[in-house]
Structure 1
């Protein structure tokens, strides 16, 4: 059998159809390129936003930890302040001063004898 050669018809319709298909293919390639570029830009900005949020969260956690530590320190200082005020009020009392003098410096009242016992 012999193969028949098929000749193409070079009509205006066929040429327009081929040009139209080339234009559509070119538009699709352009669309894919624009979408890829937009995705890259979007990814970049998303990365910046996510890293910014992560940094802020870590800074917030540090500040909250620091706040808890400072709150505990503040409470301890308030207790110490209350104890020191109490101590100041006690030091205004002569009997308390006499008790400290007898206990720490072995001083005695007239006619009083001090005995130190081993612990």
Structure 2
């Protein structure tokens, strides 16, 4: 040990006094240094926990936002389908009312099934749309 002290003494110009006060000051310095290290470690761990919690909360909010937007799109589609169904329902209700009318049924039967009233003669005319479709195929 004395050899180490001599080597230290040679490297320094002033030798340190090894008494109780100096040792207590050195120990207090070491305690403060150890306290700073522990404090830094605690703050680092706490910071990492806060960062992880922030990332988790952010990802949860993002996922919920995506889910809400998907549900909103589904809601809009459902409302559009509801409108279409309501239109169809109103048309069907009108058709029910019309089908309960005997005059309308008679007109419908005459039109679709070529039924006639007494003394009526039905003439069918050729469909001009079919003739127009046939002309281009004959020219080719």
TM-score of the two chains, using structure 1 as the length reference: 0.90
Higher helix residue share: 2
Q: How does 1:2-13 map to 2 (within 5 A)?
A: 5-13=13-21
TM-score of the two chains, using structure 2 as the length reference: 0.77
Q: Does 1:65 align with 2:73?
A: yes
Specify the structure having the higher radius of gyration (Cα): 2
Please give the alpha-carbon distance, in whole angstroms, between the structure 1 residues aligned to 2:32 and 2:13.
30
Number of equivalenced pairs: 117
Runs of 4+ in 1 over 6 A off after TM superposition: none
Q: Which ranges of structure 2 fall in alignment gaps of 5 or more residues? A: 1-10, 128-140
Q: Which ranges of structure 1 fall in alignment gaps of 5 or more residues? A: none
Q: Which residue of 2 aligns with 1:97?
A: 105
Higher relative contact order (CA 8 A, sep 6+): 1
Please give the alpha-carbon distance, in whole angstroms, between the structure 1 residues aligned to 2:78 and 2:14.
92
Please give the alpha-carbon distance, in whole angstroms, between the structure 2 residues aligned to 1:107 and 1:91.
17
Please give the alpha-carbon distance, in whole angstroms, between the structure 2 residues aligned to 1:15 and 1:93.
116
1:106–1:5: structure 2 CA closer, same or farther, 3 Å change rule?
closer
Q: Does 1:31 align with 2:39?
A: yes
